[in-house]
Amino acid sequence: MKKILIIVFLSLLLINLGNQSFAQSDEKLVILHTNLGKIVIEFFPTDAPNHVANFVKLTENGFYDGTIFHRIIPGFMIQGGDPNTKDGDRSTWGTGGPGYSVNAEFNTIKHNRGIVSMARSTDPNSAGSQFFIVHKDSNFLDQQYTVFGRIVTEESFETLDKIASVKTGEKDIPVDTEQVKITKAEVVNRSEVSNLLELSSPDRITIPIVNSTGSQPYENKALDIAFNVPEGWLLQEPKKVNENSPDVVAVGPKVGPINPVFALTITNSTGRSLDDLIKEKAEFLKNALKSGNLEIISQEKSTINGKQAYVTNAKGIFQSNGTSYNVQFREVIISTPEKFYIFSYSNGVDNFSDQISRFDESINSFKITFEPVKETKSAVASVETEKKGGGCLIATATFGSELAPQVQQLRELRDNSLMQTSLGTSFMTGFNQFYYSFSPTIADWERENPAFKETIKIAITPMLSTLSIMTLAEDGSEAKILGLGLSVIALNIGMYFIAPTIIIYRLRK
C-alpha cells in the first residue's frame, strides 16, 4: 500500500510540473543580459548532459560576459558565444572557442522558434562555446546540431525579435555591436525567475533516425556527382572552407565509441597526376607514421568504374577532449583529368567492419553526372595532340603559361562560391552547354597551331582580368553575385564589341 501511494504522489508531482514547464531540470537557468533585454534559458540535461554542463560552467566562469551576437539572420537564428568578439579582429569572429570541443549529442528535439542549440564546424564533434537561438522554425537543422535548451519567458522572445531585427552588414555582423552585446551572463535557480511561460514538452521528431540497412540515392548537380548513401544517416553539405575540406559528409548513428562517417572531398588536379597526389600524401603522413600514432595497413592502385583509383587502409590513435580513440579508416581516391574525388570512411576499430560493405556500395555507385572532355596532360607532359582531342579552349591556351594560376583561381571561385548559389548553378549549367559546343574544336586547333594558340591567349587575357572581379563574390548573396556577373558581362561587351565598333567606325569615317 505504501509503495502505491508513493507512485500516485510521484504521478501527481509530474502532472503539476507539467503545468509549469516540461524542462528536464528545475534547478539551474541562465540569464543573458543584453542592452535590448534579457534572455532566460532552461536546459535539457537528459538529451545533452555534456553540452548543458559545458554551457553552465562557461557562464559561471564569466566566459560569455562582453561577447556579442556576431551573426544575425532574421527569420533563421542569432548566434553568439565567440570570445573573439570581445576585442578581436572582425575577420576572426565566428572562429573562436574555449580551446576544447564537446562531442555531439544529437537528439530528437526539433529546432523550433526559441530553441538554443550549439554551433559547430563540419566536424560533428567540434562544438565549443558558440551557440545559436532559433528565430523562426528551422527543422532542416534537426539531428545535425545539438539542442540543449530553450528560452522560457515572454521578455526572452521579445529580446530575440529585437536582436534579429537590428541592422547588419557583411557576413551578417550587426552594424551596432553594443546593441547586441551580452553585458553579463549568470546562472540562477529556477525559483529566482518570475513570469516563466507555461511551455509544453518540446516538439520532437516522431520517427527517430535508425540504423537502416538500406541506401538512398544522393545527387549534387552543382558538383556534378551522384552516389548512394546509407538510408537515415545525417547528410550534410558543409561550406567549402579550403580545398581539403569535405564537400559531402554522411554521419551514421553511434554504436561504438565514435560515429561512423563517410566523407567526399573534391579537389582540382591542377595538372597533377594520381602519382603526384600519392607522393604528396605520403610526405604529409611521414610525421604521423614516425610517431607511431598511425599505421598503414595496405595501399594499392585499383580501377573503379573505369577510372584510376588508389585505396589506403589505415588505423591510428586520435585524441579528443583528453580521450584516446582507436580509429580505423579507408580512403579511396578516384582520379580524373580535372579533379580528384577522395572518399573516406572512419569508425572505431572494433566497429569498422560494420559499415565497410555500405561504404563499398557508395564507392561503386559513384557517378560523375556531367563530364565534358578536358585537358588530360600533367604539368610535366608535352603538348602533343591527344588521340581523343577536344577540351577547354581557355585551359589549352593558358596551359604552362603565366595565366595558368589565374585560370585555376577562377575555377576554384566557380566551384567554391558561384556554384553554391542557385543563380550561379543555373548560369553555369547553361553556359557549359553552350561553351562546350565549340570549345573542344578550338582547343584542337590550338594544339595543332602554336601561333593560333598564342593569338587565343592574347585575345582572352582581358576577359580573364575582368573575371577576377568575381572574387568579390566570395561568401556573397544571390543579389551580389548577380550584380557582379552583370558588371563582368557589360565590361566584356564593351571591350570586345562596342570599343572595336567605335574604332572601326572612326577609321572608316
C-alpha cell at 186: 549568470
Alpha helices, H only, 197-319: 274-284, 286-291
pLDDT at 378 (0 to 100): 33
Higher pLDDT, 292 or 321: 292
- Write phi, then psi, for 52 (nearest 5 degrees): -65, -50
Question: How far apart (Å, rounded) are the C-alpha atoms in residues 406 and 465?
Answer: 9
How large is the average pLDDT for residues 268-289? 85
Alpha-carbon torsion (3, 7, 8, 10), positive or negative: positive
Looking at residue 8, its pLDDT comes to 33
pLDDT category, 116, cuts 50, 70, 90? very high
Q: According to the model, what pLDDT value does residue 415 have?
A: 61
The model's confidence at residue 71, banded by pLDDT at 50, 70 and 90, is very high
Helices H / strands E in the chain, number of each: 13, 18
For residues 280 and 341, the answer to whether their CB atoms sit within 8 Å is: no
Euclidean distance between CA atoms 312 and 346, whole angstroms: 12
| Contacts of 210-219 spanning 24+ positions with Cβ under 8 A | 210/253, 211/252, 211/253, 211/255, 215/358, 215/361, 215/362, 215/365, 217/365, 218/248, 219/369
Q: What is the pLDDT of residues 395-451, one digit of tens each?
A: 777 765 667 666 666 766 666 666 666 676 667 767 777 776 777 788 778 777 888
Mean pLDDT over the full length of the chain: 79
Mean pLDDT along residues 208-233: 76
Per-residue pLDDT at 491 exceeds 90 = no
User: Could you read off the pLDDT of 334-370 as tens digits, one per residue?
Assistant: 998 889 999 999 998 888 888 898 999 999 999 988 6
pLDDT in tens, 122-161: 778 889 999 999 999 988 888 889 999 999 999 999 999 9
pLDDT of residue 210: 44
- 163-180: average pLDDT: 90
Domains of the chain by start residue, with CATH: 19-192 (2.40.100.10), 215-368 (3.40.1000.10), 393-508 (no CATH)
AA identity, residue 323: T
When pLDDT is averaged across residues 477-485 and rounded to a whole number, the result is 69
